[in-house]
Structure 1
Amino acid sequence: MQGPAGQYPTLQVHPGRRCNLQCLHCYSDSGPAVSEQLEIELLQAAVADAASIGYRVMSVSGGEPLLYPALGQLLRAAHAAGLVTTVTTNGMLLDQRQLDVLQADCDLVAISLDGIPESHNFMRNSSRSFDEMCARLPALRASGIPFGFIFTLTFHNVHELDWVAQFAFEQGASLLQLHPLEPIGRATCRLGDSYPDGEENAAALCEAGRIRELYEGDLDVQIDLATVPAMLEHPTRVFVREATLCGAQTVADVIAPLVIETSGLVSPMQYGFPRAWAWGNIKDRSLPDLAADWITRDYAAFLTLCRLVYEQAVRKDNEPVLNWYEQVYAAASQFAPAQVREQLMHTCSSDSPAR
């Protein structure tokens, strides 16, 4: 379990919501008819600002990033700022022109892969998605750009992990990341019965461990799930810490991932995080200014929220494996920062000795 920032605190950038697909589980409700996008000059400034406050990786998603006209300029700006760059794509548009763009300034291509071909096509809402993605892989391998696959875990597909890992290995991937389906965006109305439960999460964790051993040295297997023993041993990885920056720490050391959504809104942790907890908008103020204000205004409340989730999660009668980010999202949807601050003040007042 990595986090909160890990070794490489990440800025996620969603420059546009246009996509060639309308996937059933799309968190940003992207699609062919969606034209919303951010101006490249705004993003270039934000990427440089992100590096100045400690972020070390820029991960570009969307929408389909390959449909963002200025993707090459964005990646180049990130490299100029000293950031490692990754691009998450459905892989269907990886023609030679796009590969030339990525070769120049992309350090890793992450391709969505949601199970066996039939399952992948179902999730992608397209009968062509698997075959067209596969057809692009030989040229991607020939380009020499490191690549991996991202698998969305649902209630129905943990048994397909073995096939997915073998496919990833045979294609020459260096990474397989397993990410549980979350109740956000299009999934809330299209896949309401598909969220993995505690038993499915535990099965996926066991399967990930087996696959990691099987492909050790060839395939880096990561899974975005937490275990209670790991949380108890490393509580700071789930934001259980004091609300101060120590020594040379920057905001990137205590809040990551950080997300720039296509609207310009800056959100902690994930796309669509409850709006009351947002930093603000890069169209209005610079990223360092937004960071400084959020640390002063809402950071202590955010840590309190995370501590509440942590204390609930580690109770002995709860599931031993969980999607911690999903649980924090749910708590943030229920309690705004002002409510948490009010509770903090009430608690401090109650704990004060009588005079």
Structure 2
Amino acid sequence: MTLPGRAFLQVHPTRRCNLRCLHCYSSSGPDVAETTELPVLQRAVADAAALGYDVLGVSGGEPTLYRPLDELLRTARSHGMRTTVTSNGMLLTGRRLSELAGLVDVLAISLDGVPDSHVRMRRDPRSFTTMERRLPLVRASGIPFGFIFTLTQFNIHELAWVADFAVAAGATLLQIHPLEAEGNAVEALPDAVPDVTEMLFSVLEAARLRTSTDLVIQLDLVERGNLLSQADRFLLDDGDVRGTGPVERLSSWLSPLVVETDGTVVPFAYGFDRRFALGNLHEAPLSAQARSWDPAPFRSLCRSVHADLAGEHGPAFVNWYDEVTRASRAASLVG
């Protein structure tokens, strides 16, 4: 869940999770032990703050299974960063929440539709009831929280129920995020990525919810008109972002910056093709990667994707980050 107008460092400190969800982009699960050591991430957070990144987003895997999560968040706070944590909500015990209280600006809890739909997506019959049972503890902790709803080709009709549930739970935010064909979803949900029609309905429903509820509604789609009128947001500027220019400029045009669990640093999203990676934290600190990275191939990729989407027959609405991420892998295959 994002905080508008800010530069994000998104980290995935562990791929261990208590669930094995059908739509998990990082293919996390109970038997996945991959974890990043705390000192590596703490140094990356310090470097990111120096580069101008002002929000740390922690995802996973299930972040609450990362034992030093509170220490990581405390490091971000010590460098003046705001923080978000994304969780499936099942492990938000009173003790864990007390450790996180005062360190999290937004706690984002996954909610994939009505209870039966949520359970199907999460592949655990306890996933909804356990999450629901934790919500009074979340409210009592004082941590601001919201819900993330994964939009598929088949569940737009459940969004109104999700919004009502969020309001009743005391949430202030609802993020609507289109399913991406990444990780587990490639095989488990091959026909569930929302098409243009479904995206249009989500835009209309989000607009209705903004007028009928007090929730802040965030829809992770870009209107084609904005692609055309705000091209600088998608093409990146032509200024000097490497060499003689200040490294601090990176945060002004590249967000999110993503740290995968194995230490690889990539633009935009987990799973971005490694050919465009800045580097790996186990080989060089983030500050050094920012100085040595050549952004030209990445910027060229963004321009190519923008040209396709903004063309005469481009779609009315797009998931920009997903489009560029998928194009990165296609470009790698061609290259």
The answer, yes or no, to whether TM exceeds 0.5 is yes
Q: Distance in 2 between matches of 1:103 and 1:206?
A: 35
* Structure 2 residue aligned with 1:24: 22
Could you list the runs of 4 or more consecutive aligned residues of structure 1 that deviate by over 6 angstroms after TM superposition?
Answer: none
Shift of the 248–63 alpha-carbon distance from structure 1 to 2, 3 Å rule, reads closer
- 1:226 and 2:222 are equivalent in the alignment: yes
Q: What are the residue-to-residue correspondences of 1:202-281 with 2, within 5 Å?
A: 202-215=200-213, 218-245=214-241, 250-281=249-280
Q: Distance in 1 between matches of 2:260 and 2:140?
A: 32
- 2:39 equivalent among 6, 24, 41: 41
- 1:308 and 2:315 are equivalent in the alignment: no
| Cα distance per residue 1:89-109 (max 9 Å; x no partner) | 000011111111110311111
CA shift, 1:6, in A, is: 5.5
Q: Distance in 2 between matches of 1:249 and 1:95?
A: 39
Q: What are the residue-to-residue correspondences of 1:1-355 with 2, within 5 Å?
A: 7-215=5-213, 218-245=214-241, 250-294=249-293, 297=294, 299-336=295-332
Structure 1 stretch displaced more, 195-204 or 229-238 = 229-238
| Cα distance per residue 1:133-174 (max 9 Å; x no partner) | 000001111111100001111000111111111111111111
SS in 2 for 1:250: helix
Letter in 2 for 1:220: V
Letter in 1 for 2:221: L
Letter in 2 for 1:151: F
Letter in 1 for 2:136: P
Letter in 2 for 1:321: F
Q: Distance in 1 between matches of 2:49 and 2:265?
A: 15
TM value normalised by structure 2: 0.95
SS in 1 for 2:166: helix
TM value normalised by structure 1: 0.90
Letter in 2 for 1:173: A
Q: Distance in 2 between matches of 1:205 and 1:240?
A: 26
Q: Distance in 2 between matches of 1:241 and 1:43?
A: 29
Q: Distance in 2 between matches of 1:30 and 1:150?
A: 18
Letter in 1 for 2:42: Q
Q: Distance in 1 between matches of 2:309 and 2:332?
A: 20
* Structure 2 residue aligned with 1:343: none
SS in 1 for 2:328: helix
Are the equivalent residues in 1 in contact too, given 2:51–2:247 (CA < 8 A)?
no
Unpaired runs of 5+ residues, structure 1, are 340-355
CA shift, 1:247, in A, is: 8.2
Q: Distance in 2 between matches of 1:247 and 1:130?
A: 48
CA shift, 1:293, in A, is: 1.4
CA shift, 1:240, in A, is: 4.2
Are the equivalent residues in 2 in contact too, given 1:240–1:303 (CA < 8 A)?
yes
CA shift, 1:315, in A, is: 1.8
CA shift, 1:312, in A, is: 1.1
CA shift, 1:302, in A, is: 1.4
Letter in 2 for 1:334: A
Greater Rg by CA: 1
Letter in 1 for 2:232: T
Shift of the 332–319 alpha-carbon distance from structure 1 to 2, 3 Å rule, reads same
Q: Distance in 2 between matches of 1:254 and 1:240?
A: 6
Unpaired runs of 5+ residues, structure 2, are none
Q: Distance in 1 between matches of 2:207 and 2:248?
A: 33
SS in 1 for 2:101: helix
CA shift, 1:310, in A, is: 1.0
Are the equivalent residues in 2 in contact too, given 1:78–1:85 (CA < 8 A)?
yes
RMSD value over aligned CA atoms?
Answer: 1.8
Q: Distance in 2 between matches of 1:248 and 1:275?
A: 21
Are the equivalent residues in 2 in contact too, given 1:276–1:337 (CA < 8 A)?
no
| Cα distance per residue 1:231-276 (max 9 Å; x no partner) | 1111122234325348896201111101111100001000010111
Shift of the 211–6 alpha-carbon distance from structure 1 to 2, 3 Å rule, reads closer
Are the equivalent residues in 1 in contact too, given 2:247–2:291 (CA < 8 A)?
no
Q: Distance in 2 between matches of 1:243 and 1:113?
A: 41
Letter in 2 for 1:333: R
**Identity of paired residues, percent?**
47
Q: Distance in 1 between matches of 2:233 and 2:65?
A: 35
